[in-house]
Structure 1
Amino acid sequence: MNGPSSKGVRLCLALAFVLAACGGRTEEEARKAEITSVMARADEPLLRARPRLCEGKYARMAASAYDFYRGTVPLSLHDFRGNNFGFGASAYAIAGPLVPALGDPHPENFGALLAADGTLALEPNDFDSADFAPYLWDVRRLVAGMALAARLTNADEPAAQAATAAASRDVARAAAEGYADAIAALAKGGPRERITEGGGDANLDDLFERSIEDRDARAELDELTTLDGKVRRLRRGVLDSEEPTGVYLDVPPAAYAALPSAIERYRGTLLEPPPSAFLTLLDAARELGSGVASWARVRVILLVRGPTDDPADDVVLELKELADSGLAGLYPPGVFYDGVAERVRLASRAAWARPDAEPFWGTTEWMGFVCQIKRESAGQKTLRTSRMREERGSPAALASLGRRLGGVVARAHAADPLGTSWAVADVAAVIGRDPAGFVAEQVDVGDRYAAQVIVDWRLFREALEERGPRLGVPMDLADTPPPDVRALYGDAHAP
């Protein structure tokens, strides 16, 4: 994506920021231009090649403050590097080594995963941004995410929302304490905890109860497929009237024909590969409208044969396009893995309590894309802030959840995905000099940043209104992808 058009985009965005910052504008106008510039630069390749999909991503981010936070890792990274709002500086930073970071450990990037033996456990379930990074990056994304959830929960009950918002610092404190306590225990050789039940935590109890019910019922087959005699097919169109942007469409013929070989390559990346017949492709559908940060990525739902020819044991998988983490190259040596696929495979299996936490989680290449394939099971529920209401949205419930998630992040940081010893002892030592001070600092930074996210969300919506649904990035027909790839984007390159 080089050339005059790309340079023009960068010059336009840089000029907008300078004018806003220096032309007698308010601080909010300068921040609005900063948000616009950072997000448009981060998304420029997608904005140019598949602008309609990026419009959908930005519309999703504009819909709620929490979805905005989910989509703004580039903005948080910009703030971390520049210490905007105190997000990057710390009395507890370490020069090195880096930790195997999850990359984006906000509360909705955790959920129940179904292990090889059929048991469920709370695990990180999104590794798009995973890479080696300073430990404080993950800590602050989590603490700020929990404080933000506290500020936003119970939106339909003003009194309850006010009470929980007032307790946002307590929720942030619990997440920071959970991390500090767990990293200290792990540094002393403590076990890597595998959380298999809620244990009285309102949100985790809800997560496991729903996951167990839908795991046992194989609910994804009823939700995502139809059965005509002994022939099962994936549904098409809108599957859930409450989520009208989520759509299943036919896969273009050339792309469909390339799926069996991609699935076979994926089979070879699994820890315990099933027989090839297990992964016989029965149907595939292009999925639109899923995720937030990854909204513009290619997704395909796969229906495969499973253990037998009986349609009752068919298996649903999800293929998703992967990209660089966004954290790569930020700190030397910059590149730790031999490619995107290896990064996601090794980071996930090391971060989980056991490598087979999701035995169908592997990678492949398809149509020129590096892709992840994983199980699409209704039993694998994700934590959702929309469910954190009433009892689950109380200050005590959110604090309990934050503490547990802090421990899961610490466990990931104590892993060694490349087979070497990493930074758990160094992190524990710097925190151990003053644990209370460490927690207090993270509370101040995380809660302040959560408040700024709500301001930034409003400014982002204003920017979309003023600059258009692509944040002012112009169309250029020279960026049109090849026909077989463009077909996967639907009408993505329409003017």
Structure 2
Amino acid sequence: MAHPSKAERAAAGKAARAEVPRSSHAVWEPPADRRDPIELLLEEEQTRVRDLVPIRHGRMLVSAFTFYRGTAGLMAADLAGSPRTALHTQLCGDAHLSNFGAFAAPDRRLIFGLNDFDETLPGPFEWDVKRLAASFAVAGRDRGFDAKQRQQSILAAVRSYRVAVREFAEMRRLDVWYARLDIEQLAARWSSDVSAKQVKRFERNVAKARTKDSLRASDKLTHVVDGRVRIISDPPLIVPLEELEGESVAVENTVRSVLRSYRRSMQNDRRHLLEGFEYAHSARKVVGVGSVGTRAWIVLLLGRDESDPLFLQLKEAEASVLEPYLGASRFGHSGQRVVEGQRLMQSASDIMLGWTRSTDAEGVDHEFYFRQLWDGKGSAIVETMEPAALTAYAEMCGWTLAHAHARSGDAVAIASYLGAADTFDRALATFAEAYADQNERDFAAFSAAIASGRIEAVTGL
């Protein structure tokens, strides 16, 4: 493998400005031949569980922001026609502000990071930054913030990204790899920038996240039936396998089979840990907004006894929505693509990550990845954030995305491209508002398609 000098890498980053000027990222104009967003959405849903897709539509219908959360594929299609650099890194693929949050590192300390990698794929670094910046414009509008307040949070996200990348470019490679944002750091670094009310809300959210583990999940999601621990039925959101008409035996056999093959994707010490648990029960579970309709299961395993649970989530992985525009993943298994991307981008990753494949009754192969269902996971409640809190949160997200890109890409080249001035920041602030306008037009078309009966939505779930 060639190892260009630092000076050569910096020169490559600066040269990229001639190919794609930083100011060019400000532009968003929908092309005349832009595809119908509803067609794209329906095309993406062809492989999903048909009876769950209306729930996805219902969740996306709540607001322009929830619609944005479900349209990573649509934005990828739009970015594909925009100016793009050749400065590639591992992309999250859906780096909107709700895909960041707290989770427990293997040392059990809570850290802050990206937490959704379903669309991860190598690509131009700025695609993630644009997705993040636009999410603050969309969410700010949803919160009723004015243009100045929205601009503050957008600029904070992009400036934090740019400054952090420049800092990482000057650090030793191992120091970049080990860097992370502990939750305690967040409180110390940003609490003075927000109101006392927001600090208390943050502390409550952190306290709640600390309790979210398999034991808590078991308390909330299971009960004892005839002396056996069983997942509580709550259709259509949680459906135990025995309630899936005509499928229960086949599904249970499939779950047991994929557990065995999943073990082979783990490193030896973690495989040994997993083998100390036995299968107890499983259920289909609806998750997220954009993910609704993909095949997702929760699997209950028991260790020493019923007081020693491990809850895993088995989630279907399909081709990244970026692949039509950036090329196929080098991994032949989409579950492995997700897991490898997550390990590369996160400061610390779930020890239970792994992947597997199964074949359904119709002979169709499905690829999945495993992770723990609850492992100290906590999300920011954007709906209650004041403008100053959203701006502080934007800085956290910008730093975190920069770290993920510095781990997986060339921080020196990206830093050189971005420079010390705020040219890129201002360009993305302009882009973010223009794309928020586009998102509102697409959301209006989506709402009209539901009202006309072109697509079906089930709300309130």
Q: For this structure pair, what is the TM-score category when the shorter chain's length is used for normalisation?
A: 0.7 to 0.9
Is residue 458 from structure 1 mapped to residue 460 from structure 2 by the alignment? Answer: no
Task: Name the CA distance, whole Å, in 2 between partners of 1:236 and 1:52.
Answer: 17
Instruction: Please report how far the alpha carbon of residue 54 of structure 1 lies from its aligned counterpart in structure 2 after TM superposition.
Output: 2.2
- CA distance in 2: counterparts of 1:284 and 1:454, whole angstroms: 39
AA paired with 1:274? H
Give me the whole-angstrom Cα distance separating, in 1, the residues matched to 2:112 and 2:358.
Answer: 30
Q: Deviations over 1:369-403 (max 9, x none)?
A: 111111112632233433xx1xxx11111111111
Aligned-partner Cα distance in 2 for 1:274–1:428: 42
TM-score, scaled to structure 1: 0.75
Q: Take 2:142 and 2:315, find their aligned partners in 1: how far apart are those partners?
A: 30
Spell out the pairing of 1:9-408 with structure 2 (5 A cutoff). 34-46=36-48, 50-82=49-81, 88-89=82-83, 93-94=84-85, 96-153=86-143, 161-162=144-145, 166-189=148-171, 191-192=175-176, 193-197=179-183, 198-199=186-187, 200-201=190-191, 202=199, 205-215=203-213, 218-227=215-224, 231-238=228-235, 246-251=237-242, 252-271=248-267, 272-275=270-273, 277-287=275-285, 289-306=286-303, 308-309=304-305, 311-331=306-326, 334-354=328-348, 357-367=349-359, 368-377=365-374, 379-386=376-383, 389=384, 393-408=385-400
Other structure's SS at 1:435 match: coil
Shift of residue 97 of structure 1?
Answer: 3.9
Contact conserved, 1:113 with 1:121, CA < 8 A, in 2? yes
1:21 aligns to what? Answer: none
Question: Residues 376 and 254 of structure 1: is their aligned pair in 2 closer, same or farther, counting only changes over 3 Å?
Answer: same
Greater relative CO (CA pairs within 8 A, separation 6+): 2
Separation in 2, partners of 1:103, 1:32: 20
- Percent of residue pairs identical: 23
User: How many correspondences in the alignment?
Assistant: 400
Gaps of 5+ in 2: 1-28, 192-198, 243-247, 360-364
Question: What root-mean-square deviation, in Å, do the aligned CA atoms of Structure 1 and Structure 2 show?
Answer: 2.6
Paired residue for 1:441? 427
**What is the identity, as a one-letter code, of the residue corresponding to 2:169?**
A
Instruction: Give, in whole Å, the separation in 2 of the partners of 1:352 and 1:342.
Output: 15
Distance 1:97 1:430, change over 3 A: closer
CA deviation string 1:68-126 (max 9, x = no partner):
001111211222123xxxxx33xxx53x2411011101111122222222222112111
Identify unmatched segments of 5+ residues in structure 1: 1-26, 83-87, 154-160, 239-244, 417-421, 472-495
d(CA) in 1 for partners of 2:99, 2:367: 21
CA 1:266–1:36: 2 relative to 1, 3 Å: same
For residues 8-37 of structure 1, the C-alpha deviation after alignment (integer angstroms, 9 at most, x for no partner) is xxxxxxxxxxxxxxxxxxx99x99972222
Matched residue type, 2:157: A
Per-residue deviation, residues 397-421 of structure 1 (Å, max 9, x unmatched): 11111111111111111223xxxxx
Residues 216-248 of structure 1 deviation map (CA, whole Å, 9 limit, x = unaligned): x9321221111469632211125xxxxxx5233
The answer (yes or no) to whether the contact 1:260–1:281 under 8 Å persists in 2 is yes
Residues 325-374 of structure 1 show CA distances to partners (whole Å, capped at 9, x for unaligned) of 11125236x433343122112111111113xx311121111333111111
Contact 2:104 2:375 in 1 (8 A): no
- Paired residue secondary structure (1:369): strand
Residue 279 to residue 370, structure 1, CA distance change in 2 (3 Å) = farther
Q: Following the alignment from structure 1 to structure 2, what is the Cα–Cα distance between the partners of residues 74 and 116?
A: 32
Separation in 2 of the partners of 1:142 and 1:361?
A: 25
Partner secondary structure for residue 449 of structure 1: helix
**Alignment CA distance shift 1:97-1:214 (3 Å):** closer
Mapped to 1, the partners of 2:326 and 2:35 lie a distance apart of 26
Amino acid in structure 1 at the alignment position of 2:98? E
Letter in 1 for 2:39: S
Secondary structure of 2:307 counterpart: helix
> Does the aligned pair in 1 maintain the 2:298–2:312 contact within 8 Å?
yes
Contact 1:237 1:248 in 2 (8 A): yes
2: CA distance between counterparts of 1:32 and 1:465?
Answer: 23
With the length of structure 2 as denominator, give the TM-score of the two structures. Answer: 0.80
* 1:298–1:321 CA contact under 8 A, matched in 2: yes
Contact persistence 2:316–2:335 (CA under 8 A)? no
Q: Do the aligned residues in 2 keep the contact of 1:151 with 1:166 (CA within 8 Å)? A: no
Q: Distance in 2 between matches of 1:40 and 1:65?
A: 18
